[in-house]
């Protein structure tokens, strides 16, 4: 055999009726040379790979919004139980809660990625955080007003 002969590809070029493997997600035939590996380690078609990427990004964003809702309540508790210089922690509670609440209500698709119960929990926590932040701000202002009045 001629050692300088061009190497023949083992499989025919893509698009020429090449033998294909089914996508492990949707079962659509995919060219193994073009397929990528999904989260489970199986070959997936480009469409399913893009879907996995979007789902992962949505889950990450949903988690961040949920953290903002939890943080809002934590800031509200902190502003009530600890010191609250310049109403800073009340302000943080209101801002964080408003961000979480508007993000959840404006983008209902997070209901799907977070799940019904976590979505509801996030909305409740955000409302509690906003009310708590406003309440402690009012308490501090009232206390300050009473102190300066007498």
Nearest distance from C-beta of residue 114 to Zn ion, angstroms: 25
Identify the DSSP state of 8: P
Task: Identify which of residues 14 and 145 has a Cβ nearer to Zn ion in the complex.
Answer: 14
- Beta-bridge partner residues of 43: 37
To which H or E segment does residue 95 belong? Answer: helix 88-106
Nearest distance from C-beta of residue 121 to Zn ion, angstroms: 33
DSSP letters spanning 27-91: --EE-TTT-EE-TTSSEE-HHHHHHHHHHHHHHHHHHHHHHHHHHHHHHHHHHHHS--GGGHHHH
Nearest distance from C-beta of residue 50 to Zn ion, angstroms: 10
Which residues contribute to the site for Zn ion (CB under 5 A)?
23, 25-26, 28, 45, 48
Nearest distance from C-beta of residue 2 to Zn ion, angstroms: 42
Using alpha carbons, select from 53, 37, 57 the residue that is nearest to residue 45. 37
Task: Identify which of residues 45 and 101 has a Cβ nearer to Zn ion in the complex.
Answer: 45
Task: Identify which of residues 51 and 63 has a Cβ nearer to Zn ion in the complex.
Answer: 51
Task: Identify which of residues 46 and 120 has a Cβ nearer to Zn ion in the complex.
Answer: 46
């Amino acid at each position: 055999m001629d050692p300088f002969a061009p190497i023949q590809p083992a499989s025919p070029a893509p698009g020429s009726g090449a033998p294909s493997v089914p996508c492990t997600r949707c079962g659509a035939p995919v060219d193994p040379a073009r397929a990528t590996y999904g989260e489970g380690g199986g070959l997936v078609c480009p469409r399913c790979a893009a879907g996995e990427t979007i789902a992962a990004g949505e889950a990450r964003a949903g988690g961040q919004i949920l953290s903002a809702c939890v943080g809002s309540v934590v800031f509200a508790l902190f502003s009530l139980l600890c010191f609250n210089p310049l109403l800073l922690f009340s302000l943080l509670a209101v801002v964080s809660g408003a961000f979480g609440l508007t993000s959840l209500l404006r983008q209902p698709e997070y209901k799907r990625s977070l799940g019904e119960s976590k979505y509801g929990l996030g909305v409740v926590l955000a409302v509690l955080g906003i009310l708590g932040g406003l309440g402690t701000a009012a308490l501090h202002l009232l206390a300050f007003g009473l102190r300066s009045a007498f």
